[in-house]
Amino acid sequence: MSDPLIDLYKKSLLSPHPWRTSRAPFLLPDSVLKIMSQEIQQFGRPLDWPPDDEGGAKTQAKAKGVRPGEGLTVLRRLLAQLPADAFPPAAAAPIPPAPASGMEDLRLAMRASRKPFTERWQPARAEVDFLWRLYEQMVADEYAQLKNVRKPHDWWPALQEFEQRGGATLYADLRPVYFRSKVTRPHKLIMMMQPGGVRVAGVPVQQGIHPEFVKLLRKADGFIKRSVASQFGSAPVKYIGCFRPDPLGVGDARHVSNHMLGAAVDIDATRDKVARNPHLQKDQIKAVDRVLAFHAKTTIGHGPALVASGSWLADFPAAGTPEDRAQHLYTEMLNVSLDVRAFLDAWLDRWIVFTNVPQSTLASPAQATRDEAFQVVTELVRTFGGMKRSARAPLEDAPGVKALRNVQKNGFVSIPADIFIAMLKAGLRSGLEYGAAKDTMHFEIKSPSALIAASGFP
C-alpha cells in the first residue's frame, strides 16, 4: 500500500504549490523521502532538527534528549556529496571533495567548507519544512474526514470520544501511536467502528466497536442468552464501553490499546458512581498478596491454600477448555475478593483506631499478629490511594481508606459469573489473564494484529 504522505509530496510537484517560495526548490530524492516520511509519521514531531551551521542547535537538541533523525542525517550526507550544479545558483560555490564514508568524514568536510554547505542546506531545509506542512495538513484533513463520515455526527460515538477528549489535537497526538502499531490510516480504522446496535446481556455496548469485535460480542451474548438471561429481573450489568482513544505506555514507547482499536470492552468500571471491577496495578496486587499470605496463617480465609509462588493472582492456569479456565479465573478472583473483604472487616477499623491513638502493648502472640496485620493494612492504604487529606480531615477521608471501604463493601468483582464465562467462551481474553496487573472489568480480542491486518490497513 502506498504511503499517503509520499503521495501528497509527489502530487505537490505536478503544479506550483503555494507553500513553496523558491522558484527552484531542492526536491527531496526518493531515498530521503521514504525515510523521512516514516520518521515524521512515527513520531509526529521533528527529530534532531539540524543546525543551519555546525554547533549550537545540535547541542541543544541533544540536551533536550531529542533522538537523532536518520532522514536528516542521510540528507546532509547526500548534500555534501552532490555536485554544485544540483543546487540553485546561490549555492554554486566550490564544493569539498566527497567524504569517503562515515559521519566523522562528513563533519570534517562540512567544517572545511562551512559556507557552501550552509548555502546547500537552506533550500533542502525549506523542502523538509514543506514536507512537515504537508504532514500536518494531511493529519488535519484526516480528522476532517472523520467528522464528515456521518451527518449529523453528534450521534457517532467514536468521534464523540475524540471530540470530548481533545478533538483534532488528540487525533494528531495519537496518529503516530497508531502508525507505530502498523495502523497506517487510523482515521479509516476509526470510521469502520460500528456506532451501536450490539448488546451484551441486554446492555448496549457504547462508544463504537470494530466489526470483527462485534462478531465476538454477539457470540458471547448468545451464550449468555442461553444460560442466564431469564434469571435477571433487572440488568445484570449497567455499562459496557468499547472504543476509547487512550494508548498504553508513555512517550515514544506508547502503543495502541485494544480500546483504541474498538476491540476491548470494560464492564461496569463504576456502578452507582462507585468504582467496581477494578484494574489492580502491580503494587496493589503485591499488597493483596500480603493479605492472602497473612490469613493463610490465620483462620479467616475463604480461598484455597497459598501457592508456592507466593501469589494466587499470579497463578491462573493456562490449560483447560475456555469454559473451565473462565470458571477457574472467576472463582479465584471471587475467593481473593472474599478474603480481602474478610481481612478488612477484621482489621481496618482497628487500624484506624490505633493510628488515631496508638494503644498499649498486648500479650506477645497477639501483639505480633496485630503488628503484622497493621503493616498489611498500611500497605493496602498506600497502594489504594494513600493517606493524603486536608489537615483536620479524619482518616476515613484519606483516598486509600475510602477505596478500601469500597472494597470492603463491594469486593473486586460485580460482573456475574455467567457473563464472565460467556465472554471467555466466545474467545475473548479477560484482563485477569494479564501477568503484571489484573483488570477485572476488561475483556479484549486475543490477537489485535490479526484484526489490524483483516481491516486492510497493514
Tell the smallest beta-carbon distance from residue 261 to Zn ion (Å): 12
Tell the smallest beta-carbon distance from residue 244 to Zn ion (Å): 8
In the complex with Zn ion, the residue whose CB is nearer, 26 or 420, is 420
What are the CA-CA distances from residue 412 to residues 120, 235, 328, 440 (Å)? 64, 19, 16, 7
Measured from the Cβ of residue 46, the count of other Cβ atoms closer than 10 Å reads 16
Tell the smallest beta-carbon distance from residue 239 to Zn ion (Å): 12
Q: Does 244 bind Zn ion (CB under 5 A)?
A: no
387 is written with which cell numbers?
Answer: 493517606
In the complex with Zn ion, the residue whose CB is nearer, 379 or 444, is 444
**H helices, E strands: number in the chain:** 16, 9
Tell the smallest beta-carbon distance from residue 177 to Zn ion (Å): 16
Tell the smallest beta-carbon distance from residue 192 to Zn ion (Å): 20
In the complex with Zn ion, the residue whose CB is nearer, 242 or 313, is 242
361 is written with which cell numbers?
Answer: 502493648
In the complex with Zn ion, the residue whose CB is nearer, 266 or 418, is 266
Q: In 3-state terms, the chain is what percent helix, strand and coil (to 5)?
A: 55, 5, 40
In the complex with Zn ion, the residue whose CB is nearer, 70 or 246, is 246
Residue among 290, 306, 280, 308 at smallest CA distance from 403: 280
Tell the smallest beta-carbon distance from residue 367 to Zn ion (Å): 43
Residue type, 139: V
In the complex with Zn ion, the residue whose CB is nearer, 341 or 442, is 442
Total residues in contact with Zn ion, by rule CB under 5 A: 2
In the complex with Zn ion, the residue whose CB is nearer, 39 or 266, is 266
Distance CA 224, CA 233 (A): 14
In the complex with Zn ion, the residue whose CB is nearer, 142 or 444, is 444
Q: Where are the alpha helices (H) located in 281-416, listed in sequence order?
A: 282-296, 322-356, 364-383, 399-410
Element (H, E) at 203: strand 203-206
Measured from the Cβ of residue 446, the count of other Cβ atoms closer than 10 Å reads 13
DSSP single-letter state for residue 209? B
Site residues (CB under 5 A) for Zn ion, limited to 257-286: 266
In the complex with Zn ion, the residue whose CB is nearer, 425 or 442, is 442
Site residues (CB under 5 A) for Zn ion, limited to 316-355: none
Q: Where are the alpha helices (H) located in 113-255, listed in sequence order?
A: 114-148, 157-165, 167-180, 186-192, 211-227
DSSP single-letter state for residue 153? G
Which residues are within 8 A (CB) of 116 and not within 5 positions of it... i.e. 6 or more apart? 84, 91, 93, 94, 95, 96
Tell the smallest beta-carbon distance from residue 277 to Zn ion (Å): 10
Tell the smallest beta-carbon distance from residue 264 to Zn ion (Å): 5
Tell the smallest beta-carbon distance from residue 86 to Zn ion (Å): 54
Question: What is the number of the residue whose Cβ is closest to Zn ion?
Answer: 442
Residue 168 · residue 143 · CB < 8 Å: yes
Strands (E), 242-329: 264-267, 270-271, 274-275, 279-280
Site residues (CB under 5 A) for Zn ion, limited to 394-453: 442
In the complex with Zn ion, the residue whose CB is nearer, 95 or 217, is 217
Q: Where are the alpha helices (H) located in 384-447, listed in sequence order?
A: 399-410, 417-425
Tell the smallest beta-carbon distance from residue 73 to Zn ion (Å): 40
In the complex with Zn ion, the residue whose CB is nearer, 116 or 262, is 262
Tell the smallest beta-carbon distance from residue 165 to Zn ion (Å): 16
Residue count of the chain: 458
Residue among 136, 137, 128, 133 at smallest CA distance from 25: 128
| Positions that interact with Zn ion (CB under 5 A) | 266, 442
